[in-house]
């Protein structure tokens, strides 16, 4: 029987960025997704349809399309990241309630993302959350090895002196919580609230009942506020 871990001893709070700190239905990632498709199409000189297949295949197999493009086609990470993160962040709106809930959490707040620090900065600025986070561990800090690679989590824990038994991780992809849970972290899966359409692959929305998922929420602000109560 599943026995979810609790938050009694947590002193480090780890958050994914995209589709975690803002709602899935904002579909900000859809812009990045489209830019990735354009990059693959142009780099490999294939049709948009073929580029789409390659993009999603690499994403599933390598954790990010970028990793697949680097490994198989010699793409430079800087060129890729600069291109795919050149998007319009204006759909994001300030979320002071979430900021207040994060501020009330005891201990450090960190971001662990497969995106770049530049993208993180832009998102946090739009959300009004910049001041609430102590550090960011991005894809560059991970040596371009994306979640869910075990080495990435281990490097994150070492670089920021995080005790997994005293940390909680919030993610929108269940597969990215498997290793953190194995290492001892309390895990929370953030899912769509069901009120609006979201642009996601079927596999991205799976895993709510997985043994490595301790908690599930479709409202991160309310969930965090509830921890204080």
Q: What is the pLDDT of residues 95-131, one digit of tens each?
A: 999 999 999 999 999 999 999 999 999 999 999 999 9
- At residue 199, the pLDDT reads 64
Global pTM reads 0.89
Q: Do 12-24+92-228 and 29-84 come out as alike in CATH topology?
A: no
The CATH class of 12-24+92-228 is alpha beta
Residue 51 CB-density burial (10 A; 0-12 exposed, 13-18 middle, 19+ buried): buried
Cis-peptide into 148, omega within 30 deg: yes
Q: Is domain 29-84 in CATH 3.30.360.10, yes or no?
A: no
Distance separating alpha carbons of residues 2 and 51, to the nearest angstrom: 41
- The residues spanned by each domain of the chain are 12-24+92-228, 29-84
Helix runs in the chain, H state only: 28-44, 48-62, 65-73, 77-84, 96-103, 117-127, 150-159, 178-183, 220-228
Q: Mean per-residue pLDDT for 213-222?
A: 96
Between helix 65-73 and helix 48-62 the angle, nearest 10°, is: 100
Distance separating alpha carbons of residues 16 and 138, to the nearest angstrom: 10
Instruction: Kindly give, in sequence order, each residue whose CB lies less than 8 Å from that of residue 167, ignoring residues fewer than 6 positions away.
Output: 10, 11, 12, 13, 14, 185, 186
**Digit-coded pLDDT (tens) for 35-59:** 999 999 999 999 999 999 999 999 9
Plot region of 202 (φ>0 → left; ψ -120 to 50 → alpha; else → beta): alpha
Distance separating alpha carbons of residues 116 and 2, to the nearest angstrom: 35
**Digit-coded pLDDT (tens) for 47-94:** 999 999 999 999 989 988 999 999 999 999 999 999 999 999 999 999
């Amino acid at each position: 029987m599943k026995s979810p871990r609790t938050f009694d001893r947590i002193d480090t709070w780890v958050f994914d960025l995209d589709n975690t700190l803002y709602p899935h239905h904002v579909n900000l990632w859809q812009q990045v997704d489209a830019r990735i498709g354009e990059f693959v199409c142009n780099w490999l000189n294939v049709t948009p349809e073929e580029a789409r297949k390659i993009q999603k295949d690499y994403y599933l197999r390598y954790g990010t399309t970028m990793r697949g493009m680097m490994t198989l086609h010699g793409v430079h990470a800087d060129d890729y990241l600069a291109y795919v993160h050149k998007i319009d962040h204006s759909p994001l709106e300030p979320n002071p309630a979430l900021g207040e809930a994060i501020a009330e959490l005891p201990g450090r707040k960190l971001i662990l993302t497969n995106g770049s620090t530049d993208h993180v900065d832009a998102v946090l600025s739009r959300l009004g959350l910049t001041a609430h986070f102590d550090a960011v561990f991005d894809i560059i800090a991970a040596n371009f090895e994306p979640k869910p690679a075990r080495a990435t989590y281990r490097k994150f824990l070492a670089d920021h002196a995080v005790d997994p038994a005293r940390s909680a991780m919030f993610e929108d992809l269940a597969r990215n919580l498997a290793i953190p849970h194995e290492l001892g972290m309390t895990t929370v899966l953030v899912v769509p609230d069901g009120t609006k359409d979201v642009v996601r692959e079927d596999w991205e929305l799976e895993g709510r009942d997985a043994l490595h998922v301790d908690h599930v929420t479709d409202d991160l602000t309310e969930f965090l506020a509830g921890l204080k109560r």
